[in-house]
Amino acid sequence: MKRIACSLLLTTLTLMGCQPAPQGDAQAPAAEPQQTHQWKLVTSWPKNFPGLGMAPERFAEKVNAMSGGRLTVTVYGAGDLVPAFEVFDAVSQGTAEMGHSAAYYWKGKAPATQIFTSIPFGMNAQEMNGWLNYGGGMALWREVYAPFGIIPLVGGNTGVQMGGWFNKEINSIDDLQGLKMRLPGLGGEVLSRVGGVPVALPGRELFTALQTGAIDATEWVGPYNDLAFGLYKAAKFYYYPGWHEPGTTLEFLINQAAYESLPADLQAIVETAAQAVNQDMLDEYTTRNIAALDTLVNEHGVELRQWPEEVILALREANAEVMAEQVATDPMMKKVYEHYRAYQAGVGRYHSISEEAYNAIRR
């Protein structure tokens, strides 16, 4: 009986295995392919330029990888698709879905944009990140860009920049009289107030302008980028610190309509990649500047100079006048600046007993 039962069971299982699949399974529709998006990202930097130019490249790599190819970003350097100073318009008009630049280039669009890059004697990189990400600064930034159909995201920080390259020593404020210097944003306004002549130039034109005497001085970023541009070949006096840009924040600009066309997961990928690149840039500059400065001084004979106290005092006084005038003529500038200054005062009090106090005792 056991043998008969086992035989019947085996036969039943065999017959069941030979039966065709249910008709419903055979006709199940194939999954529809997911929609893909191709974005153009225009920048204000030469293609693949160290630091600044690599931030958009790394952003594109991260987005392409995290999205599994559903969102691909192609990066165009300055002049490849649009000129360096037309990134804002290109994104606003939808010529490109994204841009990477510095907000202070757009002061002609809205004066308050300058504050979101850096202002003279303002906050450093750590403080700027705190203000933007947790102190309410990003909400204000988005408010400023909203009329243009652009969403801003943090896109890197160079840290405290250098004061610039000069073809003569600066011993007093008189040495800045009539001096033609590439100096954008509010720093340029301050230079003008003390008798200098600010000039707006994209990065790729700096070396030639300095070498030919079209300008007498220039700032760019710091040792890492300045070495790459070969600025030491055109001027030998290298001043510090960068009073004009103590914590230069870069930006990603996103066309609002393009952003809103993405599903929620791709929007999250874009924002996460931007956050990663923001920290990555600061880390890279912190490291690369060390070796680059050694090379400039020890191999190329660059002469480091600290700003004379007289010059710094005059520049600080001029900056106070410039900012007072700026906030008096533009309500949004006033709103953003007052918020910025309140945060700076608070973080300054805390850093006086933390970062600054520690720096003073560790040397």
- Cα 132 to Cα 38, 151, 197, 236, 278: the distances in Å are 29, 14, 32, 36, 12
Residue 181: burial class (beta carbons within 10 Å; 0-12, 13-18, 19+): buried
pLDDT at residue 10 is higher than 50: no
What is the number of other CB atoms lying within 10 angstroms of the CB of residue 230?
A: 13
DSSP 8-class letter at 120: T
Least confident span in 14-28, 51-65, 80-94: 14-28
Could you tell me which CATH number the domain at 164-245+299-362 has? 3.40.190.10
- pLDDT score at 185: 85
**Hey, where are the domains in the chain?**
37-158+247-288, 164-245+299-362
Q: In terms of DSSP bridges, do strands 217-218 and 197-199 run parallel, antiparallel, or are they unpaired?
A: unpaired
Asked whether this chain's domains 37-158+247-288 and 164-245+299-362 adopt the same fold, the reply is yes
- pLDDT score at 33: 66
Q: What is the pLDDT of residues 104-161, one digit of tens each?
A: 999 999 999 999 999 999 999 999 999 999 999 999 999 999 999 999 999 999 999 9
Q: What is the pLDDT of residues 243-292, one digit of tens each?
A: 999 999 999 999 999 999 999 999 999 999 999 999 999 999 999 999 99
What crossing angle do the helices spanning 137-145 and 331-352 adopt, rounded to 10°? 160
DSSP 8-class letter at 344: H
Q: Spelled out in words, what is the top-level CATH class assigned to the domain 37-158+247-288?
A: alpha beta
Q: Name the token pair of 56.
A: 């958009």
Q: What is the pLDDT of residues 83-93, one digit of tens each?
A: 999 999 999 99
SS3 per residue for 293-315: HHHHHHCCCCEEEECCHHHHHHH
In whole angstroms, give the CA distance from residue 82 to residue 78: 7
- 19-29 b/e (C-beta count within 10 Å ≥ 16 → b): eeeeeeeeeee
First to last CA, the chain: 94
> Among residues 220, 244, 248, which one has the least CA distance to residue 128?
248
Does the predicted TM-score (pTM) go above 0.85? yes
- Cα 256 to Cα 66, 97, 152, 193: the distances in Å are 21, 8, 9, 37
What is the number of other CB atoms lying within 10 angstroms of the CB of residue 74?
A: 15
